[in-house]
Amino acid sequence: MANPTGFLEVDRETIPDRDPKERVKDWKEIHEHRDDEKVKKQGSRCMDCGTPYCHTGMMLSGMASGCPVNNLIPEWNDLVYRNRWQEALTRLRKTNNFPEFTGRVCPAPCEGSCVLGSIEPPVTIKNIECSIIDRGWEEGWMKPHQPAERTGKKVAVVGSGPAGLACADQLNQAGHNVTVFERADRIGGLLMYGIPNMKLDKKEVVDRRVDLMREEGVEFITGVFVGKDKEWTAEKLRKDFDAVVLCCGATLGRGLPTENSDAKGIHMAMEFLTANTSHQMDHNFDGTNPELNATGKEVIVIGGGDTGTDCVGTSLRQNCKSVHQLEIMPRPPMERADNNPWPEWPKVYKMDYGQEEAAALQGEDPRKYLVMTKRFIKDEEGNVTGLEVVDIEWDNRDGRFTPVEKEGTVRTLSAQLVLLAMGFLGPEQEIIDQFKLETDQRSNVKADFEKYTTNLEGVFAAGDMRRGQSLVVWAINEGRGAARECDRYLMGATQLP
């Protein structure tokens, strides 16, 4: 701890974002360039406390508290403050395969459990993490690392999202020959098509990492839908490979089965986001998808989470007429409630980048809380024209919270594009059926935590497919864990963390 009074002398200062009114005009990442001297000062705020909750990765009240991949946060905070950036990168890479991803898209449960954060604004852990890895790439420290020797074992990883990539990276470094199968036309899964470019740059961040893994020996095959593709069946994978790890995500979106839900112009959020990013990648980020876009339309996003925020930011960049978000839950308090103590994840009101942009252009936060959709309205051609909604309040009846409509609040909202961002139900069924996998009560693949073994010998499952919809950082955690157990299965023992 180079500066024991840093947290008393330096105020929290994050890397600033670009002006909302300007950044909505392009698809570049929203952040300004970092200032390394300021980042060093922020590192001095770390207290190097005796019990650093920031890297515990516990689950408290059903939410992550601390870093799920157990990043050695106090160590690399101190190294950054001492200007020992390359050593900080070494510490960071011990626990996190892809800090350039988490440093951009993770909600930072580490900061929510920062000990300093119990009395003052927490350390800017996420900014420091991202600064370390970005500098590593800029300085040329991120070079391909080939394993010293190969084991001769072959592993198929199905799915190239954060869990699949983390698993592949670990197994490759253990010396196995790894092939990653992806049904889309590009590698990255959720990272490529589920998160918009202004939040995570595809060419400069995602493709750069995939290219490095390719140089290190990982083989990538795109356009293969295991479970549907006749060439790559479950039987063939199990025959051709010594082990199979399934990291297919929880991509089955939650619909809204109400009147006129079949109207044209109602889409799942991921369909909208995927189509937009795919079009941009094919056209070098010139323009937006001509078939599925918000240009000139009144847009309503149902769902207030991260995916809903991405829909708001994307709609604004497509020059929508207006955009609003409907959230069935109440607005969070400005400060922690008594039943949400530190070090739990702070359930407090905040505006993410999409809401900031909407507020700058439309004058207010686009989210409307405690609002429930009763039905959709469509015209004679079957196009959605609006929603009938009602305000609700939550009533605790027999121990179960139930939404109760507030009398006299039924009204109609105009919309020509409705995006459903209400979460995910679980993994898609095709690959489960073909492998004949057992599932749990939530339809996720049944595989014990920290074992990742399914009912089939040599077949493992990890990420959202096993645990349900979760954070990118949890997917990396699961991918690393599955790689460890797969390595143990193949070799009888493992040195993977």
Architecture of the CATH domain 6-139: Orthogonal Bundle (1.10)
Q: Identical fold at 6-139 and 255-422?
A: no
User: Which CATH architecture fits 154-251+425-491?
Assistant: 3-Layer(bba) Sandwich (3.50)
| Cα–Cα distance measured from residue 483 to residue 496, given in angstroms and rounded to the nearest whole number | 8
- pLDDT truncated to tens, each residue of the chain (497 aa)? 668 899 999 999 999 999 999 999 999 999 999 999 999 999 999 988 888 999 998 889 888 899 999 999 999 999 999 999 999 999 999 999 999 999 999 999 999 999 999 999 999 999 999 999 999 999 999 999 999 999 999 999 999 999 999 999 999 999 999 999 999 999 999 999 999 999 999 999 999 999 999 999 999 999 999 988 889 999 999 999 999 999 999 999 999 999 999 999 999 999 999 999 999 999 887 777 777 899 999 999 999 899 999 999 999 999 999 999 999 999 999 999 999 999 999 999 999 999 999 999 999 999 999 999 999 999 999 999 999 999 999 998 777 889 999 999 999 999 999 999 999 999 999 999 999 999 999 999 999 888 999 999 999 999 999 999 999 999 999 999 999 999 999 999 999 99
Q: In the chain, what are the domain boundaries? A: 6-139, 154-251+425-491, 255-422
Domain 255-422: top CATH class: alpha beta
